[in-house]
Every structure is written in structure tokens, then in C-alpha cells.
Amino acid sequence: MSFAFDPQVAEALAPMADAMADATPPPVGDVAARRAVLEGLIGHTDTAQPTPDDVTSTGYRLTTFDGAQIDLRWYTRKDKAAGEPGPAAVYLHGGGMILGHIGLFDGSISRYVSASGTPILAVDYRLAPEHPHPAPVEDAYAALVWLHDHATELGVDPARIAVFGDSAGGGIAAAVSILARDRQGPAIAKQILVMPMLDDRNLTPDPQLAPFVLWSWDDNRTGWEALLGDRAGGADVPAHAAPARITDPAGLPPAYIEVGQLDIFRDEDLTYALRLSRAGVPVEFHLHPGVPHEFESIAFNSDAARRVISDRVRALGSL
């Protein structure tokens, strides 16, 4: 029996598939074309659902490790009462290491905050190839340090801060968890890794998955080579860049990991969950059948999307 889309997901994806049927995918290395197409799609899907009116956001600027300034955006529910410090999450957006900015994810971040009650600090980390490794992970780490340093004024309990990201952002969240452990830096209560991009060696197409993918192996090669240059796929790649390269996961924060069965990140995410578990790291893992990468942003009315969003909200709310 072969793979197939979840029927509700297939129905939601059909108009996009029809529109792109005659389009020629950009070649490996064409970052500009991917930005033009995918940022437009992300912006469209983010505004396709209502943005909650019970969430407010405040902008901040952060000077990162090399003196550059990046934007942060603090999202919190308007009804958050002063009192005992509560949890928070540092959010890293998706985009294959090469595209996106926090403004494109404003609606989805607000929906997470509204549903979970957990405030989120979104990080406008710098993108490759203009800013290759270590810029993205160092920007994210600097934001984690910033949130710890400003915890009192923001009403945050430093012991209840998570890192949270999807796709490339999930990979960066995993990398920040490793970096914080190795530097004996700020505590991370949980790493919430949504279909994370973890392994720069995942460059060979799987014929069983190829008909279903929304993020292809050509896209993946483009992202990793933008981040790592000629080192991508080779022997000399640190775990702070590609978390699947970690030699010893012991001591990492508890992890929530999810991925679709029709996602090219399936095997690397399964393997990462298993390796963390074997090292004594508590792991909650979900493999969702019949769904590809980032499906829930398009098929948001599907039962499968409701399940994954419910699980993410629960993970945020449990901090």
C-alpha cells in the first residue's frame, strides 16, 4: 500500500497544485526565486485565518553577537494580569534558513499566544546566504539571553522559558538548545520542534515521498548550502549548525517533536527523537500520517491541522 494525502488535506492543497502544475521549480541555489514565491505564499496563508484581537505586540531591538541589530517582537495576551511570573517562549520562524521575517508570521504567533496564554518573543534572525552560520543561531541565542535578562520586567519566570520553532526555525531552536547547554547558558525549559530542519546531509530524493513534498530536496540543498557553503553535507559541520550532527545529546532540554509522514524531514526528525530518548532526554514525538511539510497553514480547517495546533498549544500551555 502506497502513501496518500489525508483526504481533507488533499482537497485544500488541490487549488495550489493546479496553479503550480505548469510552473518550473527554481534551480538549486536560486534563493531570490524561492523568496519571491514562498514569502508571498506564507503571507497569504498567515492572513487567511483571523488574527485574534486579544493579543498585543511590542517591538524591541537587540544588538547581537557581532554588533548587528535585529528586531524582536513580544506578544502577550491583553488580559495577562500582573502577579506571579509565568512562562514564555522564544519563537524562530520557518523559511529554510533563507527566507521569511517575523511580520509574515504575525497572525500565527498571535493565535498561539491567544490559545495558550503563553507570551512569545519572536526573533527576526538574519538569513543566509547574506548571513551564513553562525549568524542565525547566534541571533537566536542572543534573544534567549535577552529574554532571561528582561524576565522581571516582562513578568516571566526564567525557569519556564522554552524555545519554539517550525521548519528551519525548529532546527535553530534545537541548535540553540545545544548551544545553551554547551555554554552553560540560560536555562531552557523545553524545546518545541515543529517539523524541524536538522540534517544538512538530507539531500537525496526519496521516490516514495517525492510526489507529495512541499519543501523539496532541491529547496533543502539550497537552504543548507546558503547556510554552510561548501561544508554542507560534508564531515566538518558542527551541531550548532545542523543539530543532527550532535554526538552526545545528554543534558538537552525536554523536547516536543512533530513531523508529517510526507515531509522530507521525517527520517531526520524520527532519528533525532530516538537519539534524545536514548540519551535520557524526555521526548514527546508525533508522526502525522498523510500530511506534508507546513500543511496546516493551507489546510487549516482539516482535522489533522486541528490536532497538530492543539498539541502545540498544549505544549506551550504546559510550561
User: Three-class SS of residue 306?
Assistant: helix
Answer yes or no: 106 catalytic.
no
Q: What is the mean pLDDT of residues 278-303?
A: 97
- Give the pLDDT confidence of 186-218 residue by residue, as tens digits: 999 999 999 999 999 999 999 999 999 999 999
User: What is the spatial distance between Cα 71 and Cα 102, in angstroms, rounded to a whole number?
Assistant: 9
Asked if the bond preceding 134 is cis, omega within 30° of 0, the reply is yes
User: What is the spatial distance between Cα 124 and Cα 72, in angstroms, rounded to a whole number?
Assistant: 6
Active-site hit among 199, 263, 288, 297: 263
Which position has the grid cell 533543502?
Answer: 220
Active-site hit among 93, 240, 288, 293: 293
Domains of the chain: 7-317 (3.40.50.1820)
Average pLDDT of the chain is 96
What's the whole-model pTM score? 0.97
- Give the pLDDT confidence of 1-42 residue by residue, as tens digits: 589 999 999 999 998 877 776 778 999 999 999 999 999 999
Active-site hit among 108, 114, 116, 167: 167
User: Three-class SS of residue 256?
Assistant: strand
Answer yes or no: 44 catalytic.
no
Q: What is the pLDDT of residue 24?
A: 86
Answer yes or no: 177 catalytic.
no
